[in-house]
Amino acid sequence: MFGIDLIDASLLPAMLVALVAGVLSFLSPCVLPIVPPYLAYMGGISMGEIREGRGRSRIILPALFFVLGLSTVFLFLGFAASAFGRFFLGYQDILSKVAGAVVIILGLHFLGLFRIPMLDREARLDAGDQGGSAFGAYLLGLAFAFGWTPCIGPILGGILSMAASEASLARGTTLLGVYALGLGLPFLLAAIFIERSMGVMNRLKRHMKAIERAMGLLLVLVGVALMTGAMSAFSYFLLEKVPFLATLG
Protein backbone atom coordinates (compact mmCIF):
# COMPACT_ATOMS: atom_id res chain seq x y z
CA MET A 1 0.00 0.00 0.00
CA PHE A 2 1.18 3.53 -0.87
CA GLY A 3 4.26 1.91 -2.47
CA ILE A 4 5.53 0.60 0.86
CA ASP A 5 6.56 -3.07 0.84
CA LEU A 6 6.36 -5.43 3.78
CA ILE A 7 9.64 -6.07 5.56
CA ASP A 8 10.62 -9.73 5.61
CA ALA A 9 13.39 -11.79 7.17
CA SER A 10 15.60 -11.44 4.09
CA LEU A 11 16.45 -7.99 5.43
CA LEU A 12 17.94 -9.42 8.64
CA PRO A 13 21.58 -9.62 7.42
CA ALA A 14 21.50 -6.00 6.25
CA MET A 15 19.86 -4.95 9.53
CA LEU A 16 22.64 -6.67 11.48
CA VAL A 17 25.25 -4.80 9.40
CA ALA A 18 23.42 -1.50 10.00
CA LEU A 19 23.28 -2.14 13.77
CA VAL A 20 27.00 -2.96 13.98
CA ALA A 21 27.76 0.08 11.81
CA GLY A 22 25.82 2.30 14.22
CA VAL A 23 27.71 0.97 17.25
CA LEU A 24 31.06 1.40 15.45
CA SER A 25 30.05 4.97 14.55
CA PHE A 26 29.50 5.69 18.25
CA LEU A 27 32.94 4.25 19.02
CA SER A 28 34.62 6.21 16.20
CA PRO A 29 37.39 8.75 16.97
CA CYS A 30 35.20 11.76 16.19
CA VAL A 31 32.15 10.68 18.24
CA LEU A 32 33.31 8.87 21.39
CA PRO A 33 35.55 11.69 22.73
CA ILE A 34 32.74 14.26 22.48
CA VAL A 35 30.10 12.17 24.28
CA PRO A 36 30.86 13.41 27.85
CA PRO A 37 30.89 17.14 26.92
CA TYR A 38 27.75 16.66 24.79
CA LEU A 39 25.97 15.02 27.73
CA ALA A 40 27.13 17.76 30.09
CA TYR A 41 25.97 20.49 27.70
CA MET A 42 22.60 18.84 27.07
CA GLY A 43 22.02 18.42 30.80
CA GLY A 44 23.11 21.95 31.62
CA ILE A 45 25.77 20.72 34.04
CA SER A 46 29.56 20.88 34.23
CA MET A 47 32.08 18.13 33.50
CA GLY A 48 33.11 18.38 37.16
CA GLU A 49 29.58 17.45 38.26
CA ILE A 50 29.64 14.45 35.92
CA ARG A 51 32.96 13.25 37.36
CA GLU A 52 31.53 13.59 40.86
CA GLY A 53 28.51 11.50 39.91
CA ARG A 54 26.06 14.40 40.21
CA GLY A 55 23.42 15.56 37.74
CA ARG A 56 22.66 12.18 36.10
CA SER A 57 18.89 12.70 36.38
CA ARG A 58 19.21 15.93 34.40
CA ILE A 59 21.04 14.19 31.53
CA ILE A 60 18.76 11.25 30.68
CA LEU A 61 15.76 13.13 29.19
CA PRO A 62 17.89 15.47 27.02
CA ALA A 63 19.92 12.43 25.88
CA LEU A 64 16.68 10.76 24.76
CA PHE A 65 15.65 13.85 22.77
CA PHE A 66 19.15 14.06 21.27
CA VAL A 67 18.75 10.49 19.98
CA LEU A 68 15.28 11.35 18.63
CA GLY A 69 16.81 14.31 16.78
CA LEU A 70 19.54 12.34 15.05
CA SER A 71 17.08 9.48 14.35
CA THR A 72 14.74 11.94 12.61
CA VAL A 73 17.49 12.88 10.18
CA PHE A 74 18.65 9.30 9.57
CA LEU A 75 15.10 8.08 8.90
CA PHE A 76 14.58 10.92 6.43
CA LEU A 77 17.87 10.07 4.70
CA GLY A 78 16.92 6.39 4.56
CA PHE A 79 13.55 7.23 3.02
CA ALA A 80 15.22 9.51 0.47
CA ALA A 81 17.90 6.95 -0.44
CA SER A 82 15.40 4.13 -0.88
CA ALA A 83 13.10 6.41 -2.91
CA PHE A 84 16.07 7.09 -5.19
CA GLY A 85 16.66 3.34 -5.51
CA ARG A 86 12.96 2.74 -6.19
CA PHE A 87 13.03 5.34 -8.97
CA PHE A 88 15.77 3.31 -10.67
CA LEU A 89 14.12 -0.05 -9.87
CA GLY A 90 14.72 -1.34 -13.40
CA TYR A 91 18.47 -0.88 -12.89
CA GLN A 92 18.65 -2.50 -9.46
CA ASP A 93 21.48 -4.87 -10.41
CA ILE A 94 23.60 -2.00 -11.71
CA LEU A 95 22.67 0.15 -8.73
CA SER A 96 23.77 -2.60 -6.33
CA LYS A 97 27.17 -2.84 -8.04
CA VAL A 98 27.63 0.94 -8.03
CA ALA A 99 26.59 1.09 -4.37
CA GLY A 100 29.01 -1.73 -3.58
CA ALA A 101 31.87 0.08 -5.30
CA VAL A 102 31.12 3.28 -3.35
CA VAL A 103 31.04 1.37 -0.06
CA ILE A 104 34.39 -0.34 -0.84
CA ILE A 105 36.00 3.05 -1.59
CA LEU A 106 34.72 4.40 1.74
CA GLY A 107 36.08 1.31 3.49
CA LEU A 108 39.52 1.72 1.93
CA HIS A 109 39.50 5.33 3.17
CA PHE A 110 39.05 4.01 6.72
CA LEU A 111 41.71 1.35 6.28
CA GLY A 112 44.17 4.11 5.33
CA LEU A 113 45.02 2.82 1.84
CA PHE A 114 44.27 6.33 0.65
CA ARG A 115 42.53 9.41 2.06
CA ILE A 116 39.57 11.26 0.58
CA PRO A 117 40.09 14.92 1.59
CA MET A 118 36.36 15.71 1.56
CA LEU A 119 35.79 13.03 4.22
CA ASP A 120 38.46 14.51 6.48
CA ARG A 121 36.50 17.74 6.94
CA GLU A 122 33.70 18.37 9.39
CA ALA A 123 30.59 20.36 8.52
CA ARG A 124 28.94 21.13 11.83
CA LEU A 125 25.72 23.05 12.37
CA ASP A 126 25.27 25.27 15.41
CA ALA A 127 22.17 24.37 17.44
CA GLY A 128 22.39 27.61 19.40
CA ASP A 129 22.58 28.11 23.15
CA GLN A 130 19.99 25.46 24.01
CA GLY A 131 21.86 23.55 26.72
CA GLY A 132 19.81 22.09 29.57
CA SER A 133 16.52 21.62 27.66
CA ALA A 134 14.91 18.70 25.86
CA PHE A 135 14.09 20.87 22.84
CA GLY A 136 17.69 22.10 22.67
CA ALA A 137 18.91 18.51 22.84
CA TYR A 138 16.59 17.60 19.95
CA LEU A 139 18.04 20.47 17.88
CA LEU A 140 21.53 19.34 18.81
CA GLY A 141 20.67 15.83 17.60
CA LEU A 142 19.50 17.26 14.27
CA ALA A 143 22.69 19.31 13.97
CA PHE A 144 24.87 16.34 14.90
CA ALA A 145 23.30 14.12 12.23
CA PHE A 146 23.46 16.82 9.55
CA GLY A 147 27.05 17.60 10.55
CA TRP A 148 28.31 14.58 8.58
CA THR A 149 31.53 14.37 10.56
CA PRO A 150 34.45 12.59 8.83
CA CYS A 151 34.24 9.41 10.90
CA ILE A 152 30.48 8.95 10.79
CA GLY A 153 30.07 10.19 7.20
CA PRO A 154 31.70 7.29 5.31
CA ILE A 155 30.01 4.52 7.28
CA LEU A 156 26.66 6.32 7.13
CA GLY A 157 27.21 6.69 3.39
CA GLY A 158 27.74 2.94 3.21
CA ILE A 159 24.42 2.23 4.93
CA LEU A 160 22.69 4.77 2.66
CA SER A 161 24.12 2.94 -0.35
CA MET A 162 22.66 -0.29 1.02
CA ALA A 163 19.30 1.46 1.47
CA ALA A 164 19.37 2.72 -2.11
CA SER A 165 20.12 -0.77 -3.41
CA GLU A 166 17.06 -2.13 -1.57
CA ALA A 167 14.81 0.02 -3.79
CA SER A 168 12.04 -0.30 -1.17
CA LEU A 169 10.86 2.59 0.98
CA ALA A 170 10.09 0.43 4.02
CA ARG A 171 13.28 -1.65 3.84
CA GLY A 172 15.59 1.31 3.20
CA THR A 173 14.05 3.41 5.97
CA THR A 174 14.24 0.43 8.34
CA LEU A 175 17.98 0.06 7.67
CA LEU A 176 18.60 3.68 8.70
CA GLY A 177 16.32 3.24 11.71
CA VAL A 178 18.44 0.28 12.86
CA TYR A 179 21.61 2.30 12.21
CA ALA A 180 20.18 5.12 14.36
CA LEU A 181 19.44 2.54 17.08
CA GLY A 182 23.04 1.29 17.00
CA LEU A 183 24.36 4.84 17.31
CA GLY A 184 21.73 6.24 19.67
CA LEU A 185 21.36 3.42 22.21
CA PRO A 186 24.98 3.77 23.45
CA PHE A 187 24.31 7.50 23.95
CA LEU A 188 21.35 6.65 26.19
CA LEU A 189 23.30 3.99 28.08
CA ALA A 190 26.16 6.45 28.57
CA ALA A 191 23.70 8.94 30.06
CA ILE A 192 21.99 6.38 32.33
CA PHE A 193 25.27 4.92 33.61
CA ILE A 194 27.28 8.12 33.32
CA GLU A 195 29.77 7.37 36.11
CA ARG A 196 30.73 3.94 34.76
CA SER A 197 30.58 4.98 31.11
CA MET A 198 33.17 7.73 31.67
CA GLY A 199 35.74 5.10 32.67
CA VAL A 200 34.80 2.76 29.81
CA MET A 201 35.04 5.54 27.23
CA ASN A 202 38.45 6.62 28.53
CA ARG A 203 39.73 3.06 28.09
CA LEU A 204 38.25 2.77 24.59
CA LYS A 205 40.05 5.92 23.46
CA ARG A 206 43.29 3.94 23.44
CA HIS A 207 41.90 1.68 20.71
CA MET A 208 40.64 4.30 18.26
CA LYS A 209 42.88 3.13 15.42
CA ALA A 210 41.69 -0.47 15.71
CA ILE A 211 38.05 0.68 15.79
CA GLU A 212 38.57 2.78 12.66
CA ARG A 213 40.10 -0.21 10.85
CA ALA A 214 37.20 -2.41 11.94
CA MET A 215 34.85 0.13 10.39
CA GLY A 216 36.85 0.04 7.16
CA LEU A 217 36.86 -3.76 7.06
CA LEU A 218 33.10 -3.88 7.64
CA LEU A 219 32.50 -1.46 4.77
CA VAL A 220 34.74 -3.40 2.37
CA LEU A 221 32.98 -6.67 3.21
CA VAL A 222 29.56 -5.08 2.73
CA GLY A 223 30.67 -3.51 -0.56
CA VAL A 224 31.91 -6.86 -1.89
CA ALA A 225 28.65 -8.51 -0.77
CA LEU A 226 26.61 -5.89 -2.62
CA MET A 227 28.65 -6.18 -5.82
CA THR A 228 28.63 -9.99 -5.90
CA GLY A 229 25.07 -10.55 -4.66
CA ALA A 230 26.37 -12.40 -1.60
CA MET A 231 24.07 -10.38 0.68
CA SER A 232 20.97 -11.67 -1.14
CA ALA A 233 22.40 -15.19 -1.36
CA PHE A 234 22.96 -15.23 2.41
CA SER A 235 19.38 -14.00 2.98
CA TYR A 236 17.96 -16.86 0.91
CA PHE A 237 20.26 -19.33 2.70
CA LEU A 238 19.03 -18.02 6.06
CA LEU A 239 15.39 -18.37 5.05
CA GLU A 240 15.99 -21.89 3.74
CA LYS A 241 17.75 -23.09 6.91
CA VAL A 242 15.46 -21.25 9.35
CA PRO A 243 12.01 -21.34 7.67
CA PHE A 244 10.09 -19.70 10.52
CA LEU A 245 11.91 -16.43 9.77
CA ALA A 246 9.77 -16.16 6.65
CA THR A 247 6.76 -15.52 8.87
CA LEU A 248 8.34 -12.32 10.25
CA GLY A 249 7.15 -9.03 8.78
Residue ranges of domains in the chain: 61-247
- CA dist., res. 228 & res. 96, Å (int): 9
CA-CA-CA-CA torsion sign (56, 67, 171, 19): negative
pLDDT values of the chain reduced to their tens digit, one per residue, 249 residues: 444 444 555 677 888 889 988 998 888 877 888 788 888 878 777 777 766 666 677 888 889 999 999 999 899 988 888 887 777 666 667 767 777 787 788 778 778 777 666 555 544 444 444 455 788 888 888 888 876 555 666 778 778 878 887 767 888 889 999 999 999 999 999 888 877 777 777 777 777 778 778 878 888 887 887 788 776 666 655 556 555 555 544
Q: How far apart are the first and last CA of the chain?
A: 14
The model's pTM: 0.75
Output the CA–CA distances (angstroms, integers) from residue 213 to 92, 128, 203, in the order listed. 30, 34, 18
